[in-house]
């Protein structure tokens, strides 16, 4: 099966086209079943691909347009274990999301299943392609499917506004990427990433730096890195739950993935290597994102918005790992990404269960109404602990590895603080929801406009029981978040994948069918005690913050400032204006920041 790499894209696209066309003549359960089967088949295909890519990157040329000498003629895929692994994750999340939304209201109309399959195909293509323009096309396909999925509930005004803000901001990001690609083509006359990387070599004049700034800024919009992040909460708070799972679990992280892939393959020998400007720029932006996302996460009162800001904060943490760019850091990034995707998917599914049973996502409106839902409360609690980075959940292991890769002690301390901060604040937000909704403790909390965004329930079934199709995906996701600690040799697999991913020469040589020698790096020893201590510290501080926010009347006056963090007039919240024009201006501020830093440090 030499055409294996093309199948995970071809299969969902064909199935989507068939379902979109034949939907009228099929019964609902048939459409659902066909979509689930397609996603399942994709999971099998991508797993096979992952297994095969283990012995070296798989190169596939469409239409057998092989390179002539050093000249690449056609469009090719190069599948490495990280790319294949992300495709597996995409298939898995799509499968769970489709099972979750089985026979839900919107899946009957609106081309929901075909759009999900197109989204899946685009994500698979995005992580496997070796062609820069192809990367852009898959990026746009992914974005367009995402815009439509986000605004799926057209019966209401809020989803339309959220999807509109999302679409405008991300499209501007896409144009930045395209401009960067055009500049790179002007410099090298090539579109294959390996060929561009080989032609650029260690060159980093102002034109290449400008191209780098354009492309990286564009992908940072998708990665929701501050100040490019404003679209994300709007999109997440209105998208259907199953779609939120894909957005938060993978789509946002793919932005970081693209930054890492391009800084490795294309800019790896020039701006990316030995010149700290790019690394420092990304570290600064990542830190800003961790802090901003964390604070905003704690001050929100809409369940999906809380999870959205938590994704922003964790995306910043992942950018920190990616910015370090050493095999150990990338190994940590892989484990962190997987565990975060699973924990966040589990939390979104759990929020979806609440929406199904209690018909709202607003924390004040849900106050005390979650008391009978004990199992759901357990899932929510475990999800919070996973976000805090408590072992055995994989975020702990990922964070440890990223810290171990920091190099200098100062940077290590900064990273420790930032990773602790993101875990603490995002878990604190989850815990204050737990206290208010499931325990009915304290008061209902401040109400604000964003928390009152109405949401149409996603199911028409009777609401006094939780169907298995909703509960099982949530439980599976939370359990899988702990998988990196229990699967034997998970760390070894991740470090091997990371070394293959960062072997720039091997990647470039593989395109020209020449032997390349991948790096081989050993896994550093990780102290379980310090990991456990940090996780416990995060959980304890988070619980204290949540307790203080919920029972702020009982907090002694000298400490009451801490409870005001949650106040609705927090100045940062004013920046979240709901006007897409403002978001685009912020994107440009970020772009000028990235470009300025790259040129200033040069």
Partner 1 sequence: MNHLLQIYPYLVAGWIFLCGLYGIASSKHLVHMVISLAVLQTSTYVLLLNIGFRKNGIAPIFADLSPGIITVDAVVQALMLTDVVVEATVVALLLAMVVKVHEKAGTLSPDDLRLMRG
Question: In the bound complex, what is the minimum distance in angstroms from residue 251's beta carbon to partner 1?
Answer: 16
Q: How many alpha carbons fall within 13 Å on the CB side of residue 50?
A: 22
577 binds partner 1 (CB under 8 A): yes
Burial label, 449 (beta-carbon count in 10 A; 0-12, 13-18, 19+): exposed
Q: Does 567 bind partner 1 (CB under 8 A)?
A: no
Q: How many residues does the chain have?
A: 602
Both structure tokens of 49: 């691909």
Q: For partner 1, which stretch binds (CB under 8 A), given 1-9, 76-84, 142-150, 558-566?
A: 142-150
State yes or no: residue 133 binds partner 1 (CB under 8 A).
yes
d(CA 443, CA 548): 12
Query: How many chain residues interact with partner 1 (CB under 8 A)?
Result: 52
Q: How far is CA 402 from the centre of its chain?
A: 17
Least Cβ distance, residue 568 to partner 1 (angstroms): 7
Residue from 186, 514, 540, 592 binding partner 1 (CB under 8 A) = 186
* 278: its two tokens: 């790019």
18 binds partner 1 (CB under 8 A): no
Tell whether residue 60 is a contact of partner 1 (CB under 8 A). no
Q: Which residues contact 141 (CB under 8 A, 6 or more apart)?
A: 118, 121, 122, 125
Site residues for partner 1, 579-598, by CB under 8 A, read: 579-582, 584-585, 588
Q: Does 199 bind partner 1 (CB under 8 A)?
A: no
Considering only residues 137, 381, 456, 483, which one is a binding residue for partner 1 as defined by CB under 8 A?
137
Least Å distance, CB 168 to partner 1, is 6
Question: Which residues, numbered 421-480, are part of the site for partner 1 (CB under 8 A)?
Answer: 448-450, 453
Instruction: Return the H-helix or E-strand segment holding 61.
Output: strand 58-61
Is 14 near partner 1 (CB under 8 A)?
A: no
Question: Is there a contact between 294 and 313 (Cβ–Cβ < 8 Å)?
Answer: yes
CB of 91 to partner 1, least distance (A): 25
Show the tokens assigned to 509: 């040589």
Handedness of CA 250, 251, 255, 261 (dihedral sign): positive
By CB under 8 A, residue 233 contacts partner 1: yes
Burial class (CB in 10 A: 0-12, 13-18, 19+), 521: middle
Closest separation between CB of residue 153 and partner 1, Å?
Answer: 11
Tell me the two tokens of residue 133: 């323009």
Q: Which residues of 312-347 are buried (b: 16+ CB within 10 A; e: fewer)?
A: bbbbbbbbbbbbbbbbbbbbbbbbbbbbbbbbbbbb
Binding string, 149-168, against partner 1, x = CB under 8 A?
Answer: --x--x-xxx-xxxxxx-xx
Q: Which two tokens stand for residue 60?
A: 């596939």
Task: Give the residue with the Cβ less far from partner 1, 309 or 338.
Answer: 309
Residue from 171, 280, 416, 447 binding partner 1 (CB under 8 A):
171
179 is a contact residue toward partner 1 (CB under 8 A): yes
Please count the other Cβ atoms lying within 10 Å of the Cβ belonging to residue 470: 26
Assess contact for 89 and 48: CB atoms under 8 A: no
Q: Which residue has the tokens 């496997």?
A: 128
234 counts as binding partner 1 under rule CB under 8 A: yes
**In the complex, least distance from residue 600 CB atom to partner 1, rounded to whole angstroms:** 21
Beta carbon of residue 189, minimum distance to partner 1 (angstroms, whole number): 8
Q: In terms of CB distance, is 77 or 586 closer to partner 1?
A: 586
Residue numbers at the binding site for partner 1 (CB under 8 A): 133, 137, 140, 143-144, 147-148, 151, 154, 156-158, 160-165, 167-168, 171-172, 174-175, 178-179, 181-182, 185-186, 191, 233-234, 237-238, 448-450, 453, 568, 573-574, 576-582, 584-585, 588
């Amino acid at each position: 099966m030499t055409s294996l790499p093309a199948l995970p894209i071809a299969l969902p696209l064909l199935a989507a086209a068939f379902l979109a066309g034949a939907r009228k003549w099929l019964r609902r359960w048939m459409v659902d079943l066909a979509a689930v089967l397609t996603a399942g088949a994709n999971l099998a295909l991508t797993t096979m691909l992952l297994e095969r890519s283990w012995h070296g990157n798989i190169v596939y040329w469409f239409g057998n347009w092989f390179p002539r000498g050093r000249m690449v003629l056609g469009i090719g895929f190069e599948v490495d274990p990280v790319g294949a692994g992300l495709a597996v994750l995409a298939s898995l999340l799509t499968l769970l999301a489709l099972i979750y939304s089985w026979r839900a209201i919107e899946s009957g109309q609106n081309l929901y299943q075909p759009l999900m399959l197109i989204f899946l195909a685009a994500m698979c293509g995005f992580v496997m392609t070796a062609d820069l323009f192809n990367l852009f096309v898959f990026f746009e396909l992914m974005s367009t499917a995402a815009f439509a999925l986000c605004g799926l509930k057209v019966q209401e005004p809020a989803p339309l506004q959220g999807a509109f803000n999302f679409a405008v901001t991300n499209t501007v990001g896409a144009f930045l990427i395209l401009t960067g690609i055009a500049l790179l083509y002007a410099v090298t006359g090539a579109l294959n990433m390996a060929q561009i990387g080989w032609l650029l070599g260690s060159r980093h004049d102002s034109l290449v730096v400008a191209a780098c700034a354009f492309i990286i800024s564009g992908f940072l919009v998708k990665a929701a890195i501050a100040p490019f992040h404003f679209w994300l909460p709007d999109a997440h708070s209105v998208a259907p739950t199953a779609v939120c799972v894909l957005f938060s679990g993978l789509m946002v992280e793919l932005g970081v993935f693209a930054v890492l892939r391009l800084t490795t393959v294309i800019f790896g020998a020039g701006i990316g290597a030995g010149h700290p400007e790019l690394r420092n720029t990304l570290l600064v932006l990542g830190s800003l994102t961790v802090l901003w996302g964390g604070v905003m996460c704690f001050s929100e009162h809409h369940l999906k918005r809380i999870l959205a800001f938590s994704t922003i904060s964790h995306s910043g943490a992942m950018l920190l790992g990616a910015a370090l760019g050493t095999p150990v850091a990338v190994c940590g990034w892989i484990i962190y990404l997987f565990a975060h995707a699973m924990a966040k998917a589990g939390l979104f599914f759990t929020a979806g269960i609440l929406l199904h049973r209690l018909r709202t996502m607003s924390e004040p409106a849900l106050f005390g109404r979650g008391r009978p839902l004990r199992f759901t409360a357990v899932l929510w609690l475990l999800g919070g602990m996973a976000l805090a980075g408590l072992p055995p959940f994989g975020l702990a292991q990922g964070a440890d590895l990223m810290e171990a890769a920091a190099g200098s002690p100062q940077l290590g301390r900064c990273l420790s603080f930032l990773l602790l901060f993101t875990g603490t604040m995002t878990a604190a937000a989850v815990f204050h929801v737990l206290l208010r909704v499931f325990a009915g403790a304290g008061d209902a909390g401040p109400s604000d406009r964003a928390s009152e965004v109405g949401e149409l329930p996603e199911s028409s079934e009777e609401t006094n029981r939780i169907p298995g199709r909703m509960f099982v995906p949530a439980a599976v996701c939370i359990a899988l978040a702990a998988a990196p600690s229990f699967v034997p040799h998970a760390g070894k697999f991740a470090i091997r994948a990371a070394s293959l991913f960062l072997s720039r020469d091997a990647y470039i040589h593989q395109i020209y069918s020449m032997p390349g020698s991948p790096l081989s790096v050993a896994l550093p020893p990780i102290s379980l005690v310090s990991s456990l201590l940090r996780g416990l510290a995060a959980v304890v501080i988070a619980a204290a913050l949540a307790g203080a926010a919920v029972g702020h009347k009982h907090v002694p006056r000298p400490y009451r400032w801490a409870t005001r963090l949650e106040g609705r007039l927090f100045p940062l919240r004013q920046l979240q204006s709901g006007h897409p024009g403002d978001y685009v201006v912020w994107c440009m501020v970020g772009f000028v920041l990235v470009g300025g830093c790259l040129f200033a440090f040069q």
